[in-house]
Amino acid sequence: MTETMRVVTRREIIRSVPARFEMQYGKNRSGKLWKATVTHGEMIDALNALDTKTCTAEAVDEIIGNKTLTLNECDACGENKDVLLRLGEELDYDVRWWDICGDCLSKASDILSQSQEGASK
């Protein structure tokens, strides 16, 4: 069990979409998911054809039909951010981390500082 604290960017999320899509939905190419006009294989091919180093989240979302795989949401405020700080453990079978944006991290730091000042009195 390793404690981690690292930055997670929207670009990192976008770059990981093709692999995460296949991991989540499998490699069955003939079935159709939620987009009745596109096969699973066609979605995989379209995602793999993207230049994930430069493409937009919107380009990925258009292929998938929703924003679920490109969101980079703060777990405290729920806003979709370009950069988050991931706190906690990264395990392969259970999510045990928390993603927090700079604004919420700053607020949390203020709360801790005030609590520490109050505790020392």
pLDDT of residue 26: 73
**Regions of the chain with pLDDT less than 50:** 1
Q: Tokens in use for 79?
A: 């806003």
pLDDT of residue 83: 97
Domain limits of the chain?
3-119
- 35-68 pLDDT tens trace: 667 777 888 899 999 999 999 999 999 998 889 9
Q: Tokens in use for 41?
A: 């294989």
DSSP string, 43-111: HHHHHHHS-TTT--HHHHHHHHTSSTTT--B-TTT--B-SEEEEEEEE-SSSEEEEEE-HHHHHHHHHH
**pTM of the model as a whole:** 0.77
How far apart are the C-alpha atoms of 64 and 76, rounded to whole Å? 26
pLDDT of residue 121: 65
